Amino acid sequence: MSYPVYHAVDVADALVRLSLAEKKPLTNMKIQKLTYIVYGYWLGFTNFQLFQDTVEAWQYGPVIPELYYRLARYGANFIQEPILKESSIPESSEAYELIQAVYNKYKNLTAGQLVHLTHLPNTPWSNTWSVRQKGIISPDEIRDYYQKVMLAQ
C-alpha cells in the first residue's frame, strides 16, 4: 500500500486549523512538537513517511527546520491564522484522521510539557542530541520509537 506524501507545513496547517476552530491558537514550538508526534505515529502505523522534511534534534526537542523558519516571524506568539491559503490534506483522509487524533490527545499539554515528553531518556531526540546537537533524527529511529509507544498504550 502507498500513501500520499505531504510537507510538514501541510500537517502544521491542519493542526493550526483545528486549534483555531477551538479558539486555542498554537505557538511555533507547540506546532513543531505536534507535527513531529503526528509524523512519528504515522511512521509507526504505516512504515511510510508522512512528509520528506528532515527532523533535527534542537535544544528544545525535535524541530523540522523548514517549518520552523516558515513560522519564525511569529516568535513565541500564537499563530492566529491558517498557514496555507487552502488546506492540502483532505479531511476524509487517514492522514487527517491521525492529525485530528494526535491534536485531541495532546492539545491540552503546554509546549513545555511536549518538550519534556520528547526529552525523555531513549527518545529519538535524546539519542540524537547526545551524539550530535542539531543532528538529523533518523526516520527509522522515530518509527521504531513510536511503534513501542503504540504497543505500550
Inter-residue contact 71 to 79 (CB < 8 Å): yes
Residue 1 has pLDDT above 90, yes or no: no
Inter-residue contact 79 to 25 (CB < 8 Å): yes
Q: Distance between CA atoms of 116 and 151, rounded to whole angstroms?
A: 21
Q: Which residue has the higher pLDDT, 1 or 24?
A: 24
Q: Where are the domains of the chain?
A: 8-146
Assign 47 to helix, strand or coil: coil
Q: Distance between CA atoms of 47 and 82, rounded to whole angstroms?
A: 29
Inter-residue contact 49 to 39 (CB < 8 Å): yes
pLDDT per residue as tens digits for the range 73-131: 999 999 999 999 999 999 999 999 999 999 999 999 999 999 999 999 999 999 999 88
Inter-residue contact 84 to 53 (CB < 8 Å): no
pTM confidence score: 0.96
- pLDDT of 153 reads 82
pLDDT per residue as tens digits for the range 33-74: 999 999 999 999 999 999 999 999 999 999 999 999 999 999
